[in-house]
Structure 1
Amino acid sequence: MKKNIIFDLGGVLIDWNPRYFYRSVFNDDARMEDFLSTCCNSEWIVAMDAGLTAKENIARGQKTCPKYARELALYDEGWHHMFGGAIEGTVEILKDLKKAGTPLYALTNWSAEKFPWAKKNFPFLDLFEGIVVSGEEKVIKPNPEIYKRLLARYNLKAEDCVFIDDNAANVEAARALGMAGIRFTSPARLKEELSALDNRPSHK
């Protein structure tokens, strides 16, 4: 039986970076980097991935980071401009796996209110047999609970799954549950690692 392949989205299949938008807001890389490290940082962004709306999170951020209140207010309308597009090499791998009949799933830390836009603008997301979105679940990777929900929802066994993510902690969490884990660094390297898994001797 073919293994189930579970993909992360951002950083693996989709290029997303707030710098794509905020460079035009700041016109000053030093101030932008200060903003991104102190206010619009991963901890702030992940609150939306965990269930907060952009409006709620912006209001919260403006209280704790008033010096960048204006820039935070622009996050919601500017979010669509934070994409560099699809990571085409990985999309080609995804399409090849689909053609080969490999069951494909996605597990993503993503805002529930923003994900419908992604579905509309990245047609390759239709190749997945199932997608679990953290914002809808209100739990984020690397919390084991979200992996367990994906496995239960689609009746998958961890030992029959390969999990791909660019975040090392997320990969380790998948491995701890019994999945094979691949830390994504590039499409070329991913292709090599998937091939190595295919050619690994089976133990019965």
Structure 2
Amino acid sequence: MKPKAVIFDIGNVLIEWQPERLYDAVIGEERRRAMFAQVDIIGMNELVDLGHPFKKTVYDQAEKTPKWGNEIRMWHDRWIEMASPVIDHSVRLMKALQAKGIPVFSLTNFGIDSYDFAATHYPFMRDFDRDFISGHMRLVKPDPQIYAQVETTSGLSGGELIFADDRPENIKVAKSRGWQTHLFEGPQGWADRLVDAGLLMREDAL
């Protein structure tokens, strides 16, 4: 079946998302590993992705763990440096699909405030035909309910959707719902997949 809409994750599909890289550059890998072992950074970030206020959530965590307060606040204060650079080839694929009249959706674990902030740096984030942002939905991937909401809102399901994400657990749930999927490991592989799906010609996918 030829898909009727294409769904992009954002982190590590359209924008590189590598917090460790910034921390390693600023405080060194050893201290970063120690901090990540002692502070529930992943849990803190998931609260943001679930729609909790970005700055307050991060700063509250910093107050709870004063030993790492300055480093934790970097998660907010230097966040855009973690969410960079843009993956230009992926953005070109998004634009090429839309130029052919193919709807392109986002499906991303992203906070409300952090998404709005990122969009000031990356204007393409305002150009999706439909946005499915976890912070607004109060659900995060790979919760099956977030995929169900995409289907309900878009009116599309199963093989009518093709979805790229860099996390195997997110792909697994989409595949279980019958979606066509692509585990993103680089933009060229995604380009090839879109060509194979009959959505783009080779020359459109460069």
- TM-score of the pair, normalised by structure 1: 0.86
How far the C-alpha of 1:75 sits from its partner, in A, is 2.3
TM-align CA RMSD: 2.1
Kindly tell me: are residues 114 and 105 of structure 1, through their superposed partners in 2, closer, same or farther at Cα, counting changes over 3 Å?
same
Secondary structure of the 1:185 match is coil
Q: Is the 8 A contact 2:108 2:132 kept in 1?
A: yes
Name the residue aligned to 2:121: 121
Kindly tell me: are residues 191 and 24 of structure 1, through their superposed partners in 2, closer, same or farther at Cα, counting changes over 3 Å?
closer
Q: What is the CA deviation profile of residues 165-194 of structure 1, one whole-angstrom value per residue up to 9, with x for unaligned ones?
A: 000110111111111111000111111122
Kindly tell me: are residues 83 and 178 of structure 1, through their superposed partners in 2, closer, same or farther at Cα, counting changes over 3 Å?
same
For residues 111-190 of structure 1, the aligned pairs below 5 Å read 111-190=111-190
Q: What is the CA deviation profile of residues 73-121 of structure 1, one whole-angstrom value per residue up to 9, with x for unaligned ones?
A: 3322121222322101111111111112211100100011211112222
Number of residues of Structure 1 aligned to a counterpart in Structure 2: 197
Q: Is the 8 A contact 1:158 1:177 kept in 2?
A: yes
Secondary structure of the 1:114 match is helix
Name the residue aligned to 2:84: 84
Name the residue aligned to 2:15: 14
How far the C-alpha of 1:66 sits from its partner, in A, is 4.3
Q: Is the 8 A contact 1:25 1:71 kept in 2?
A: no
Q: Is the 8 A contact 2:58 2:72 kept in 1?
A: no
Q: What is the CA deviation profile of residues 38-91 of structure 1, one whole-angstrom value per residue up to 9, with x for unaligned ones?
A: 42643332221112223134424643x443123113322121222322101111
Range that drifts further, 149-158 or 7-16: 149-158
Name the residue aligned to 1:202: none
- How many Å separate the matches in 2 of 1:126 and 1:73? 27
Identity %: 26
Q: Is the 8 A contact 1:39 1:61 kept in 2?
A: no
| Structure 2: runs of 5+ lacking an equivalent | 200-206
| Structure 1: runs of 5+ lacking an equivalent | 200-204
Q: Is the 8 A contact 2:3 2:197 kept in 1?
A: no
Secondary structure of the 1:80 match is helix
Secondary structure of the 1:12 match is coil
Q: Is the 8 A contact 1:159 1:178 kept in 2?
A: yes
